[in-house]
Structure 1
């Protein structure tokens, strides 16, 4: 199937009233009808270098990577081998490095919110000192683009552009992953779950993918289409909290990644732009939201208006062994 995802140029938002109006109309259609689009003109011109660093990281000796094991981090930062993360109980066939804002751990407090242990330091490879400054700068740039894009989405819905500023300022809970999807094993060609079917937790995801592709989006129940790589573009999709804040008018669309064929290595870098951990979403003050029919109810994934609750519930599903190791008291946590 040909690419049905629109390609939007962020520069059009500043090219005069008529071009801006056309851009906002296209953006509104993309986030309402599909929940995915491709973004160019974002001003981040070192995507190829970020992908090169990603490839170099996963080419490090396994002993170097083991030093960064996510098993050592109570904050779920670090390196995961193939099969460490689960989606709907099945192991994802990818390696990854999880990176968040560089913070000191929260002081121990039995009365603190149970998601505050997500705050903490990252783990960086000693053999690649260039990785930390490059990724830190990329996260800063992606945070700025994401915040601008969020404001434009609100403008496209005729809501005040700054309405969601209080939930992300001054400290959005951003998250970046370096990902490696190895080719399928010759003896298991049907083992193709790069990452299983899911939705993202927060507000916006911006994905840098290499030329191999593999990302698929479900626009109708049970049917998936490929998201072909567009040079220089970030694939943008919406998270569950925007579906909650718009009573289902905006779509947090189901997607997955299919493992590449044997002998092919896929690399990608998703960036997740989220509210502060303690933030609670409010319905957007716009007619489109008031008239919306409500979020899609999934008994296996109940949506809440609390980002901290959403992400903690997701971490419990994705890393149950790590939760049992570092935070066994949370094993019975739901969204209380």
Structure 2
């Protein structure tokens, strides 16, 4: 997959700094709703999450991914359908429809399941915990703005109403750190290797922190892929499929991927994604009162999607 330079679309930048201004939340809600109806992806600057908090996760996770494979393998993410911290090994997931091999590994973090944290890097868990809660606090503000932009009577419908168990049993929200190792490859190998295949996310909202290595590409409404390179001081925001379903397709869950290029394939790349999901028992119903999509619980929807992506992982019968 390669980006199209001919597209006239781009990923917009929103300034969250107006949040505390008069009518700032209303203005942000209109802007956020417009972006999520169209491009589906946005950069957000002046978001309020301390850079030091972000850097601590990047720095400590580098140490985690640098551990020997046998050490990382001792703390795997559970193969059962339940929230858990843990290491996700190379080749455990394939999101690409063409089933190309994806050169990436990951570490999942949730606040209430820390027995799989690596003892070798003791600062990793506290760093993840801080960023998890900073990400949730920011997400609440953004989602309350979005509800106003969509003229919802309860501005907390996408936030506290549906995420009461955030960071506790009963909610699957996860902070995931991805590592994409550098890879030398022939032209033939490039045809069946990628970093993260084209996909949409599953949940309510994704908050993405990028390092300084590019590779993220976003599908435009014209069907082309455009780069979403790192912009210092910004977050990247998009919604997942359950939010598109929730809003009866008013909002757009956008296809995206992480690719190799001549410029980035010789460098390791890392990213941190805060994947926000509704509570397990929360019933997601069409906001317009229609029956376009039947009601479904947060857990059942996520279960359907995850088993499709983890086919290889679960199919091997790995237990932890």
Task: Please indicate the TM-score interval, normalised by the length of the shorter structure.
Answer: 0.7 to 0.9
Question: Which secondary structure state, in structure 2, belongs to the residue aligned with residue 14 of structure 1?
Answer: coil
Q: How does 1:216-255 map to 2 (within 5 A)?
A: 216-220=217-221, 222-255=223-256
In structure 2, the residue matched to 1:79 is 87
Aligned length: 297
Give unmatched runs, 5+ long, in structure 2: none
Question: Which secondary structure state, in structure 2, belongs to the residue aligned with residue 178 of structure 1?
Answer: strand
Q: How many angstroms does 1:13 deviate by?
A: 1.8
1:316 equivalent in alignment to 2:307: yes
Q: Give the TM-score, by structure 1 length.
A: 0.80
Q: How many angstroms does 1:85 deviate by?
A: 1.0
Q: How does 1:1-336 map to 2 (within 5 A)?
A: 1=5, 4-17=10-23, 19-45=24-50, 46=52, 47-70=54-77, 75=82, 77-87=85-95, 88=97, 89-103=99-113, 123-159=116-152, 160-164=154-158, 165-171=160-166, 172-187=171-186, 188-220=189-221, 222-259=223-260, 261-284=264-287, 305-324=296-315, 325=317
Give unmatched runs, 5+ long, in structure 1: 104-120, 296-302, 328-336
Task: Note if contact 1:217-1:226 (Cα within 8 Å) is conserved in structure 2.
Answer: yes
The 2-side partners of 1:80 and 1:252 are apart by: 24
Question: Which secondary structure state, in structure 2, belongs to the residue aligned with residue 167 of structure 1?
Answer: coil
Task: Note if contact 1:203-1:241 (Cα within 8 Å) is conserved in structure 2.
Answer: yes
Q: How many angstroms does 1:74 deviate by?
A: 6.7
Task: Note if contact 1:244-1:305 (Cα within 8 Å) is conserved in structure 2.
Answer: no
Question: Which secondary structure state, in structure 2, belongs to the residue aligned with residue 70 of structure 1?
Answer: coil
Question: Which secondary structure state, in structure 2, belongs to the residue aligned with residue 134 of structure 1?
Answer: helix
Distance 1:271 1:125, change over 3 A: same
Q: How many angstroms does 1:209 deviate by?
A: 0.6
Distance 1:316 1:20, change over 3 A: closer
Task: Note if contact 1:10-1:41 (Cα within 8 Å) is conserved in structure 2.
Answer: yes
Which structure is higher in RCO with an 8 Å CA cutoff and minimum separation 6? 2
The 2-side partners of 1:39 and 1:272 are apart by: 16
Residues 183-233 of structure 1, C-alpha deviations (whole Å, 9 max, x = no match) = 233232334421111111110000001111111111135411110111121
The 2-side partners of 1:163 and 1:74 are apart by: 26
Question: Which secondary structure state, in structure 1, belongs to the residue aligned with residue 162 of structure 2?
Answer: helix
The 2-side partners of 1:48 and 1:321 are apart by: 32
- Give RMSD over aligned pairs: 2.6
Distance 1:178 1:20, change over 3 A: closer
Task: Note if contact 2:91-2:102 (Cα within 8 Å) is conserved in structure 1.
Answer: yes
Residues 57-104 of structure 1, C-alpha deviations (whole Å, 9 max, x = no match) = 21222232122233677746421222221114444210111222424x
Q: Give the TM-score, by structure 2 length.
A: 0.83
The 1-side partners of 2:251 and 2:56 are apart by: 33
Question: Which secondary structure state, in structure 1, belongs to the residue aligned with residue 220 of structure 2?
Answer: strand
Task: Note if contact 2:26-2:148 (Cα within 8 Å) is conserved in structure 1.
Answer: no
Task: Note if contact 1:10-1:42 (Cα within 8 Å) is conserved in structure 2.
Answer: yes
